[in-house]
């Protein structure tokens, strides 16, 4: 159990460092390192890691949403962080195969999402969502399903997974439970 805990802490620390670089506006990207990460990337279904998704989160709801989004990068092939500003949902950042990037101001897409309860998960086809945001490269082979999760009134996530439905359903429920633990106050 101790070894599992050390692995969890080590993995979360790696993603935390990546997030801190984004938050600190460290936009110097190492393309060689990113390509290596993406080439070797495989989304994790490890339940112990998923449970760690909500551990050690900051108190501030903005920081909390950003940290959780960054941590979700290890569990999905791709994802988009959406921010609500006066009922206008704008894409702020995305991840693809473990690498997180901020959108430049000119590239921030505005999307409409349905009115849903907090931490409800909706599933849809990825292609129309990605096309709307001009992010087809997140699923160039059209093999993913899109999940929409509204984490807070101000933040939502599009999450893209290539897991077969049999595993995706269980994976989604585990992620949802972890998000409930992380965002329930």
Q: How far apart are CA 146 and CA 113, in angstroms?
A: 13
pLDDT computed for residue 6 by the predictor? 52
Query: pLDDT tens digits, residue range 128-162?
Result: 999 999 999 999 899 999 999 999 999 999 999 99
Query: pLDDT tens digits, residue range 106-119?
Result: 778 999 999 999 99
Its pTM stands at: 0.80
If you count them, how many residues does the chain have?
185
- Cβ neighbours around 9 below 10 Å, total: 14
Helix ranges (DSSP H) in 24-115: 31-40, 47-51, 61-72
- Decide: helix, strand or coil at residue 1: coil
What percent of the chain shows pLDDT beyond 70? Answer: 78
- The domains found in the chain, sorted by start residue, are 2-183 (3.30.450)
């Amino acid at each position: 159990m101790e070894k599992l805990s050390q692995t969890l802490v080590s993995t979360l620390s790696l993603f935390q460092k990546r997030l801190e670089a984004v938050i600190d506006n460290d936009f110097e990207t190492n393309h060689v390192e990113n390509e290596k990460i993406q080439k070797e990337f495989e989304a994790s279904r490890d339940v112990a890691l998923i449970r760690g998704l909500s551990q050690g989160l900051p108190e501030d709801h903005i920081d909390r949403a950003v940290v959780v989004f960054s941590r979700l990068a290890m569990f999905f092939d791709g994802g988009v962080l959406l921010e609500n500003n006066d009922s206008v949902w704008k894409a702020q950042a995305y991840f693809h195969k473990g690498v997180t990037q901020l959108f430049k101001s000119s590239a921030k897409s505005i999307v409409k999402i349905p009115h849903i309860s907090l931490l409800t998960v909706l599933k849809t086809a990825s292609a129309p969502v990605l096309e709307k945001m001009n992010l087809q490269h997140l699923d160039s082979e059209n093999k993913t399903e899109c999940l929409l999760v509204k984490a807070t009134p101000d933040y939502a996530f599009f999450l893209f997974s290539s897991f077969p439905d049999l595993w995706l359903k269980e994976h989604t429920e585990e992620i949802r439970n972890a998000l409930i633990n992380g965002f329930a106050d």
